[in-house]
Structure 1
Amino acid sequence: MHDVLMRVFDRLHERGFRHPMHLPWKPQQVAVRDPNQAMVVDFILRTSGYALATFLMRKELEESDRLKRAIDTCWEIESHPEKTGDLRADYLQADGVRVVMNVSLPAALAEGNAARLKMLREQLRRSMLPESNTFDTLKPDGLGHHHMGVYPAGYAAFTMAQAAFAAWLLQDTGFACPPETVSHVARGLDVLRVISQKYDMHKALGGRFSSASVIPDVLLGYGYLADLKHPRQSEFQGMLARLADEAYMASGLPRRTFSGHRDEVTPGPGCIAHFLEVRQRAMGLGAEPDPTGHWAFNYGPLSVHRREDWMVSIKGASRYWWAFERSLTDARKDPRRENVFGFHDGAGSLMIFGKGEPWVNAVQSGYAPAGWDWCRVPSTTTRHLTPAEMLAMDKEGGSFNRPYSDATFVGGLSLEQRQGMFVMDYTEATPDQRDAPLKALKTAFFFDNQIVMLTSGIRNGDGKHPVTTTLYQTALSGAETPTFEQGRMVTGFAETTQAVDAAASRLVDAAGNGYYIPAGNKVVVSRSLQASMNQSASRESRGPVATAWVDHGASPENASCEYVVLVRSGRDGLEDFAGKAEQEYRVLRQDAMAHVVRQLRLGVTGYAVAKADALLGDEFLSQASAPCLVMTRDLGAGRLRVSACHPDLGWTEGRSTPTNPAGRMIRPWHRCPHL
C-alpha cells in the first residue's frame, strides 16, 4: 500500500497537479494558457483527499523526499481565488471556509506551520461573525447563507460543521477558536435544528438541490459541540441525543453521517468511534424535547411554527433575498439540470411536516416527487403552467436564476415565541419576465394548530392561464388513500376536477390536515394519477396526487381568497372547527392597506399593515405611520402584550429592484457595510 500511495503522489505530480498549475472555477478565467501548466477546472473543492493524505503520510513522504513537494502543492491550491475568493483573506465565504479546513489545515499541520494555524483561527473568527448583509455565512437570526441567500440545507450547514470541528480540534492550544466564535457556530447549528422538523426542512432552503435534508450529513458537528467545553455544551448533548436517537441508529442515516459528502473526505474509524462515544454519553443524559414555538427568520425570509413533533414553515422572497435557485449547466458548461421548475419555491410556499414513521418526514407528509405539479405549490398564488410551457419560457428567458422582486414588505413576527405571522408583498418570478407580472399581498397568521391564510389584490394574469391559490398538493399511497370533502371520505381517481359547491368548503388532505374555506371562494379539488416532469426535466414523472386550489380566473382584478389550515385536524377536528368558526377567528380587514385577523379564543390579533399612515380604527391599533407587522394578546384588565417589527431590512431607499436578475451582484444594498 505504501508503494501504491507513493506512485499516486508521483503520478499526480507528473500530470501537472503541482505548483504551478491552472486551477480555475471556469475555463474562461484563464486569460492566457501556459502550455507548461496543467488545466484543472472546477476542482478546488475536491482536493481535500490530497491534503489529508499529505498530513497522514507526512513521515513517509519526508523519508522519500516528497513532503515538501506535496505541501507546496497544497499551498498552490490555496493560492487560487477563482472559485472561493482569496483563501488567505480574513473573511471567507462558505466554500472558502471548507477549503481552508480541508486543505490549509492539514497542510499546516503537516508542515508545522504555526503562522498558518494562527491565520486560520482569525479566519474562522471573522467568517463566523453574524452580519446584516448578503455575504456568507451567518446572519443575526442564526440562518446560514451562501450564494447571497439563505442556504442551510447545503453549503452553510457544512461550513458550520467544519467550524465546529475546528473548535473541537484546536481546543486547549494556542490556536483555539475564541469563545465568541464557538458561540456563533453553536447559534447556527441550534437554528439549523429548529428549521429542520427532525431531518427535513422547507424545500426552498435547499437552493438548487432536490433534497432539503442536511442534519444527518452534519451530525458530527453536533457531536463536536456536545464534547467541547463551552456554555451550551449540555444543550448540544440534548440535541445530539434527540437527533441521533435509537431510530436514527437503526436506519440508514448513519451512512450519511459517516460518508464523504460535499467533496469532503470520509471520516475515519477514529472519528466514528469518537462520535459514538460522545453520543452514548449524551443518551445517558437524556434527549431534549422537540422544539416548540414560533420563530421569524427575516434573513430568509422564513417563518417556522412548531408544536409537539410537527412543523410548518413558510418561505418568501424580496428585493434583498432571491426567490429560488436552479442550475442548468455547471462551470464547464456541461448539463447539470437541477431544480429546473422550482420557480415558486420562495413564493410564500407553505410546507406542513406532520406525518411519518419512525419520525415525521417530508415524503410521508405528502411531498413525494412523483407526479408533482410545479405550479401547484401549497399556499402560492401562480399562473398554472404545464412543464412544457415552463420549458418553452426557459428558451426565451435564458439563464433565469436567483431572481429578486421589488418588495421590501416581506417577513415574519413572533409573539411570545408561541404565535406568529408572515407577510409577502408578492411578485411572480418566471422566465417570461412580463412587464406586468402577477402580484398579490399574502399573509399567514399562526395560532397554535390554526393557520389563517389571506391573499388580496391578485392581479395581472396573462388572460390565458388560470391564476390559482393552491390549498394543498399531497401524494397518495394509492387509490384507496382517503381524503375528505364536506365530511365525506373520497377514494379512487377522477379523470376531471370538480368544483366544491357549498357555503363553506371543508377539505382534508391525504396527510390528515384540514382546510376550512369560507363561502365566496371558488374551490376545485382533484384526485388523479398526475403526469408531470421530474426536477431535472429529464423524464416524465407520474404519481397519485390529491390537490385542491382556489380558482381566480385567467384575468383576475383585485381578487382575493381566505382559508384556514388546521394541522393534523383530521375529519373530526375540521368538522368541530367548522361548527364554531365564527367563535374561533375573525378577519377584520383584508385589502391593499392591511390584513388584520383576530383569534377570538386566544385573544390574539395580528396586523400586517402594508401602507404608511394607515388608519385602522382597531381597538388595539388605530394607526400605523409605516408598514409594519404587529401582534397583540389581550391580557385583560386593560393590559396588552405587543410584538412589532418593520420587516424591511432598510439597506437602501428610493430604489427598485427589477425581477430580471441581470446585474444582481452589483446592487448597492448587496455591498452594504458590515454591521
Structure 2
Amino acid sequence: MNRILKKSLLIGFLFLLNGSVFAQLTEINALKTKYVNWMLGENADYTNPQLLTRYKQFLVSGNSATTRDFSDYNFASPGTPWDFKNFKHQALFTNLGEKHLASMVFLYQIKGPKNNPNPAYHRKSLRDSIFMIFDYIKAKGVSGKSDFNYEISGQDVSARVALRTSAYATSILLMKDELKAVGTFKHHMEALNTLTAYIAPDFGTKIGIPGYPTNPGMNSDMIRAGSQQRLCYIFAQEDSSKDKVINMEFFRRFYNTALQISGGWHDCIKPDFITFHHRGVYANSYGLSALLQASVLNMILKSTVYELDKLAQSNLKNAIMNYAKFSTDFTMPRGITGRFPKNTSFSDLLPAFANLFQADPIGNLDAGQEFKRLWNLTSEETKTELIKSSGVSLIMVNGLAGMQIMNDVLSKVSEGKPIMEGHFGFPYAGLSVHKYKGYQASVKGTSKNVWHYENSDKNNLYGQYSSAGAMELLTLGVPKTPETNGLTLEGYDWAHVAGTTVANVPFTEMAKSEAREFNGKAFLAHASLDNQGVFAIDYKDYNLDTEMTALKSYFFFNDKILCLGSDIKNTNGTHPIHTTLFQTSYGTNNKSIVNGKTETGNDYIFDQTSGGVWATDANGNGYVLPKAVVNNNNVVITRGKQTSFNENSKTATSTGNFTKAYINHGVAPTSATYRYAVWLKGETNTKDLADNFSKYFNVIQQDEKAHVAQYVPDSIFGYVVFDSSAKFNADVVKNVDKPSVIMTQKITGGNLKISLTNPNLGLLKEDENPDWNTISKTPSFLYRKPVTEEVNLNIIGKWILKKAVTGVTTTVNGTDTKITFSTVNGKTMQIELVKAH
C-alpha cells in the first residue's frame, strides 16, 4: 500500500472518528438542554394552575434562602478549611448548598411565564450573593484535592458529604456561564469531579477493581444521591474536554449495571423486584428514592444513544409497579420500612409513575394509568405538599416541569384499576401479601436470609417484632391508611404485634435489642396457588437468650385466614409468651364484639380458659378460636387506654385507646400450640365461622413436622412441611424430600393443580449462618449468585404435565408420580397435571 493511500485512509479514519465524537457531543448537549429545561420549566405551560403554583413556590423558596440565617458562615473571614471527617463540617457544607445556594440559583435562573416573569431572573445583586457562597465554599477548602472521606467496601461507596451535595452539583451546572465569567468554574468542576469520582471510568483502577462496576446492582444511596450529581458534572464539561464522551458512556454502563437484579444481599433491585439497602428490604426512604431518581434518568436518556438497556428499563418499571402489589392505595406494610415505622406511605414515588409514562407512553401505559388512579386517591394536603415543595430533594426528582409531566399524564390516560385479588410473595423481603376485593392482609417474617428489623439510637427502638410473623390488615378507608385501620403508634404496645408469637418483654428491655440480625432459621416461605396463598415461618427470637421458637403458618383463602402454631418453646423463660390476634386503636364511638356481646367502653378485660371464643377488632374483622385451643391456653381481650414509649425515645411516652386480644402460653412453654381463623370485615359472619368451623377449615396435621389444612369450600389443600421425613395420606401428596410448602386443588375435568415453594433462596448452605457484618465485608456473600436446588414431590396416581413448564419434570413410578421442581429465589412454581394413560 503506497504512502498516499495510507495517508488517505488515516485521514478518513480520523474524519469518521471526529464525526462520531461530534455526534455524541451533540447528543450530550441535547440531553443537557432537555435536563435543564426540565428543572427550570423552560417552555412550560403556565396556564396550568398547579404548575403556576409550583413556580410561585420556587420564588418563595429562593427569596427565603437569601434571608435565611447565615450565622454559621463568616463570609468576610472564612477561617480554616473544613475537615470532612468532621460531621459538623460536613453539615455546614451540605446545608449551605441545600438551604441557600440551590434555591437562590433557581430563583436566579427561572424565567417564569411571559405574563408574570420572575422579577429576580438574572438580577445582579442575587448573582453576587450566589458568587459569595461559591467563593466561601472554595475558601473553605472544597477542591479537586479534597478528602471527602469516602468509605469503600467492594463496589459500594459511602461518603456522607458526597451523597449530600446535589445542591452544589446542580448549582454548578446552572451557573456555568456566570462562574466562567469570574474565573472560578474550573475550580468548582474539579471539586465536583472528585465528589462524584465513584461514577468515573478510572475509579475501578484506583480502588483495585478492574472493570468496575463488576457486580449487578448498586448501593441505593449511590443511585438516589449520586446519579444526577455526576450527570451535572458531565453536562457542565466543555466540549473540548477529552473525556466528556467517555464519561457519558461510562455513566450509561454504570446505571445499566445499577439497575440489574443484584445477587446476595447487595442493593438495589432483588429477584422479587423489592428494593434493598443495608443488606435488607427498604421499600420506603432508600429504595423508594433510588427508584424515583432512576425514573428521572430513564426519562431523560430515553430515545437517545444513551438510552438505558431494555433489561434495566424493565427492572426499573417492575420495581416501581411492584408497589401496587405489596401496598394498598399508598400504604405499605410496616415491616418493610426499615427504621422508619411511621413512613408507610409511598406517595413520594408518584412522579416515578408519570416519568415511566413520559418515557414510553405506549409501553408504559399501565404506569400512566396507575399514576392517575393514585393521584385521584391523593389527599389535597399531599397534593399541595408535592406541588409547593421546592426543597432540593424534590427539585432533583421533580423539577419545575415535573408538574407539567404529571398533568400531561392526567389528561392523556384513563384511570387504572387497582389489584383487587391475588397472593404475592416477596421472599427477599420476608413478606407475603394477600388481596381480596380491595382488602389487604400482609405477613412479615425473618430467617437466616432476612434480617428482623433495623433501628438507630433515635429510630424504631421497639421494632424487634415487626418480622416475627407480624400480620397487618387493611380493610377500611379511602384511601386505606394505618390510621383508618387502627394501626396508629400513639400508645401502641410494641410487645403485642398482631400475628406474632413472642415474649411480653418490657419496653426498657426491648430498647436494648440488637437490630439487623438473622435468626439462623432456614424456613420462611411465601407460597401461592392462583389467588390463594400460604405464609410459614420457623421463628426464633434472636434477642432472647432462652431459645424462644415457634412453628407458625397462615393459610389465605379469599377473605379468610387460618392461623396455626405448634412446637412453641421458651426454655427457662422469664417473660410470658403471647400469640397476639389483634391490636387496633379506636375512637370514642367504636365497638367490639366478644362472644356475641357488644362492648363499647374502656377498662374492659375478658379472660377465658375454656370454651370457644369469637370476637371482632375495632375495624369489624372477625376472629375465631375453637374450643380445643382455649382449653389449653387462656385468651385475653382488653379495651382501654394504653401508654407506650414513642418509637424514637427511651423516655417520652404517648397514649391511645386500643382493643387487644392475645393467647397466653405461659412463661416457659415446651410444646404449646394455637389455632384461630380470621374473617376480613367479617363482623356479620364470625358467629357462623365459630359455630361451623369445620365447614370452612379442616386441620389435618399440626405438629413439629408439618401443618396441613384444607379449605373446605374450594377443596384446596395446603402443606407446610417443616420436616421432610413427614408422610401424608389425606390428599394426593405422599411426601417431599425437602422442607417446602405445597398447595393442591383438583379441578373440573379431573385435572390437578399443584404449586411448590422451596423456602431456600439458594444463597446459603445448610451450615452457613453469616451475620450482618460478615455479609457486608465478604464479597462472596454480599454478591453471591443464588443456586438452583431440586425438590422432589411424590404424589398418588399417574400424572403428566398438561403443558411443558420450564424447570419441572414428571416421572411415573408404578401407581405414583414423582415431580421434580428446579427451585431458586424462594419463588412459587405452579403446574397443572392431567391423568397419564
Note whether the superposition's TM-score is higher than 0.5: yes
1:272-296 Cα shifts (integer Å, max 9, x gaps)? 22222223323xx232234421111
Tell me the secondary structure at the aligned position of residue 54 of structure 1.
helix
Q: Which residue of 2 aligns with 1:105?
A: 231
| Partners of 1:592 and 1:633 in 2: CA distance | 25
Please show how residues 223-622 of structure 1 align to structure 2 within 5 Å. 223-229=354-360, 232-245=363-376, 247-248=377-378, 250-256=380-386, 259=389, 263=393, 265=395, 267-282=398-413, 285-328=414-457, 337-356=458-477, 358-391=478-511, 394=512, 400-416=514-530, 418-430=531-543, 433-434=544-545, 436-478=546-588, 480-494=589-603, 497-500=605-608, 503-519=611-627, 520-521=629-630, 522-537=634-649, 538-570=651-683, 572-622=684-734
| Partners of 1:230 and 1:183 in 2: CA distance | 14
Q: Which residue of 1 aligns with 2:169?
A: 51
1:225-279 Cα shifts (integer Å, max 9, x gaps)? 112227631111211111111x416332451476468956463322222222223
Q: Which residue of 1 aligns with 2:258?
A: 127
Residues 1:71 and 2:189 are matched in the alignment: yes
Q: Which residue of 2 aligns with 1:153?
A: 284
Contact 1:343 1:429 in 2 (8 A): no
Shift of 1:671: 4.5
Please show how residues 195-234 of structure 1 align to structure 2 within 5 Å. 195-229=326-360, 232-234=363-365
Q: Which residue of 2 aligns with 1:35?
A: none
Contact 1:461 1:555 in 2 (8 A): yes
Q: Which residue of 2 aligns with 1:4?
A: 129
Change (3 A) 1:442 1:231: farther
Tell me the secondary structure at the aligned position of residue 713 of structure 2.
coil
Give the counterpart letter for 1:131 in structure 2: S
Please show how residues 18-57 of structure 1 align to structure 2 within 5 Å. 18-24=143-149, 42-57=160-175
Contact 1:401 1:661 in 2 (8 A): no
Please tell me whether Structure 1 or Structure 2 has the larger radius of gyration of its CA atoms: 2
Contact 2:220 2:290 in 1 (8 A): yes
Calculate the TM-score normalised by the size of structure 1. Answer: 0.89
Q: Larger helix proportion, structure 1 or 2?
A: 2
| Partners of 2:392 and 2:423 in 1: CA distance | 31
- Percent identical among aligned pairs is 24
Gaps of 5+ in 2: 1-125, 239-243, 788-837
Tell me the secondary structure at the aligned position of residue 327 of structure 1.
coil
Between 1:610-619 and 1:447-456, the stretch displaced more is 610-619
Shift of 1:518: 0.8
Contact 1:144 1:152 in 2 (8 A): yes
Tell me the secondary structure at the aligned position of residue 557 of structure 1.
coil
Contact 1:533 1:540 in 2 (8 A): yes
Shift of 1:371: 0.7
| Partners of 1:271 and 1:152 in 2: CA distance | 23
| Partners of 1:491 and 1:60 in 2: CA distance | 69
| Partners of 2:489 and 2:727 in 1: CA distance | 46
Change (3 A) 1:486 1:253: farther
Tell me the secondary structure at the aligned position of residue 292 of structure 2.
helix
| Partners of 1:223 and 1:345 in 2: CA distance | 32
Change (3 A) 1:463 1:317: closer
Tell me the secondary structure at the aligned position of residue 432 of structure 2.
strand
Contact 1:216 1:254 in 2 (8 A): no
| Partners of 1:345 and 1:260 in 2: CA distance | 34
Change (3 A) 1:588 1:41: closer
Shift of 1:79: 2.8
Contact 1:614 1:623 in 2 (8 A): yes
| Partners of 1:586 and 1:262 in 2: CA distance | 57
Give the counterpart letter for 1:89 in structure 2: P
Shift of 1:309: 2.2
1:303-358 Cα shifts (integer Å, max 9, x gaps)? 11012222111111111110111112xxxxxxxx10001111111111111112x3
Change (3 A) 1:383 1:25: farther
Contact 1:102 1:264 in 2 (8 A): no
Residues 1:654 and 2:766 are matched in the alignment: yes
Shift of 1:41: 7.5
Give the counterpart letter for 1:252 in structure 2: T
| Partners of 2:755 and 2:497 in 1: CA distance | 30
Tell me the secondary structure at the aligned position of residue 738 of structure 2.
coil
Shift of 1:114: 2.6
2:213 pairs with one of 89, 94, 98: 89
1:72-131 Cα shifts (integer Å, max 9, x gaps)? 1111111369xx998973653111112332310111111153322221211111111113
Q: Which residue of 2 aligns with 1:333?
A: none
| Partners of 1:212 and 1:452 in 2: CA distance | 29
Change (3 A) 1:231 1:318: farther
Change (3 A) 1:119 1:662: closer
Contact 2:167 2:392 in 1 (8 A): no
| Partners of 1:569 and 1:212 in 2: CA distance | 29
Calculate the TM-score normalised by the size of structure 2. Answer: 0.73
| Partners of 1:291 and 1:582 in 2: CA distance | 28
Contact 1:218 1:257 in 2 (8 A): no
Give the counterpart letter for 2:592 in structure 1: T
Give the counterpart letter for 1:250 in structure 2: E
Change (3 A) 1:674 1:461: closer
Residues 1:16 and 2:141 are matched in the alignment: yes
Tell me the secondary structure at the aligned position of residue 615 of structure 1.
coil
Tell me the secondary structure at the aligned position of residue 671 of structure 2.
strand
1:577-625 Cα shifts (integer Å, max 9, x gaps)? 2233211111111011100110000111111001123212222211111
